[in-house]
Structure 1
Amino acid sequence: MTGPIRVLLADDEELIRAGIAALLELEPDIAVVAQAGDGPSAVDAVRAHRPDVAVVDLQMPGIDGLAVAREIATVSPGCAVVILTGHGRPAHLQRALAAGARGFVPKGAPGSVLADVVRRVRAGHRYVDPALAADALAAPPCPLSPRELEVLRTAGPDTPVATVARRLHLSAGTVRNHLAAIVTKLDATSRQDAHRIAADHGWTD
């Protein structure tokens, strides 16, 4: 490989984005070639600049980091994606890897760690924060079906059943049955408690 590793940074918080860029620019073999403040802009920047590595925040306006990772896999398969997050949970890690991300790093990691991760994923390797990897191994799998998760995300803690039914094109009775099954599967005391449990595990994010 010749020349520096070309990196795209995508984060909706400009101060964080600028700080990461400044840290990476200290590395002689890394060049930040583009920055983006939201998901769609990140995908457009990948098309325009063809970076080797995209460092993408998990939660961004427009489309989130996981959707960005999937888009990048289509528009620029040679670009390795690193998910950077301040809200790392085992479920996030699992979905990030499924979306094609090659790295998963907490925002609190030292700049030297991120630079090393950029090098690793550019070389074709993977990197997952060790503490998060340990948590993911110990975490219970989500017991809810994809449809139940969709119902729970739409319902939240207190959205009326009729509204949920209309949004998902289901009958009110079907929504009630799903919510009852969700409460049972999560061993929750109520719909609100079920939503809290799922959110704590990152299943509804």
Structure 2
Amino acid sequence: MTQTSSGTPIRVLVVDDQALVRGAIAALLGLESDIEVVGQAGDGAEALAVLEGERAAGRQIGVVLSDVEMPGVDGLAACAAIRRRFPTTRVLMLTTFGRPGYVQRSLDAGASGFVVKDAPSEQLADAVRRVASGLRVIDPVLAVETLARGASPLTDRETDVLRAVADGGTIADIADHLGLGQGTVRNHVSAAMLKTQARTRAEAVRIAMESGWL
């Protein structure tokens, strides 16, 4: 097994909003002699607090293994914050949803890897080791799909509008929430529908979510 250059175990923080899943992942990784799970967190904000506590105690976490979809501070936002505040800590994204768009957004946020939760435990442990050593790890199937699909075609404003649509808001509600005119909102919705090749607003939201663009 690969260990850190000092021969000490790789210190890992597991972040997932589902306690049972989080505990199971931590237990599996804890079986590896070269990996030490030193903490768990239920969302991105809690993960940052754990990292701050470790730093204050003079310790460092080598790898943060984080879910993508979480309430509050999600995995993508947490990843970006971790890379800014703890630049030597690597982030490995782990999700149930193998959506190509998530891979690109994770990499843009500074993640060193992306794997799906149904990967075999030995594959997950190996991904942690690789990321800790400075390598990048991406599920091969998702890597091909990501390259084939490319980055999100939606602008930031179109993404904001579709997210508001997903929350169930009317055109008037969305316009008020985003500080836009109703005509402008309609234009953004139409552009998003065209780019996603959707026939309705709801279908545009579904396609964007399945692609990992929202």
Q: Which TM class, normalised by the smaller chain length?
A: over 0.9
Q: Deviations 1:2-34 (Å, cap 9, x if unpaired)? A: 211111111111111111111111111111111
Q: Give me the whole-angstrom Cα distance separating, in 2, the residues matched to 1:31 and 1:126.
A: 20
Q: Deviations 1:127-169 (Å, cap 9, x if unpaired)? A: 0011111111222543322211211111238521110000000
Q: Which residue of 2 aligns with 1:145?
A: 155
Number of aligned residues: 204
How is 1:86-105 mapped onto 2 (pairs within 5 angstroms)?
A: 86-105=96-115
Scaled by the length of structure 2, the TM-score of the pair is 0.89
Q: Which residue of 1 aligns with 2:15?
A: 10
Paired residue type of 1:130: P
**Which secondary structure does the structure 2 equivalent of 1:125 belong to?**
coil
* Structure 2, gaps ≥5 residues long: 55-59
TM superposition outliers: structure 1 runs of 4+ over 3 Å: none
Paired residue type of 1:27: E
* Structure 1, gaps ≥5 residues long: none
1:76 pairs, out of 62, 86, 91, with 86
Which segment drifts farther, 79-88 or 18-27? 18-27
Q: Which residue of 2 aligns with 1:52?
A: 62
Paired residues of 1:144 and 1:185 also in contact (CA < 8 A): yes
How is 1:36-47 mapped onto 2 (pairs within 5 angstroms)?
A: 36-47=41-52
- Percent identical among aligned pairs is 48
Q: Which residue of 2 aligns with 1:26?
A: 31
User: Displacement of 1:91 after TM fit?
Assistant: 0.3
Q: Give me the whole-angstrom Cα distance separating, in 2, the residues matched to 1:104 and 1:180.
A: 32
**Which secondary structure does the structure 1 equivalent of 2:160 belong to?**
helix
Paired residues of 1:142 and 1:203 also in contact (CA < 8 A): yes
Paired residue type of 1:117: A
Q: Which residue of 1 aligns with 2:131?
A: 121
Report the RMSD for the aligned CA atoms in angstroms: 1.5
Q: Which residue of 2 aligns with 1:131?
A: 141
Paired residues of 2:43 and 2:75 also in contact (CA < 8 A): no
User: Judging changes above 3 Å, is the alpha-carbon distance between structure 1 residues 140 and 157 closer, same or farther for their aligned structure 2 residues?
Assistant: farther
User: Displacement of 1:60 after TM fit?
Assistant: 1.6
Q: Give me the whole-angstrom Cα distance separating, in 2, the residues matched to 1:5 and 1:143.
A: 38
**Which secondary structure does the structure 1 equivalent of 2:70 belong to?**
coil
User: Displacement of 1:52 after TM fit?
Assistant: 0.6
Scaled by the length of structure 1, the TM-score of the pair is 0.93
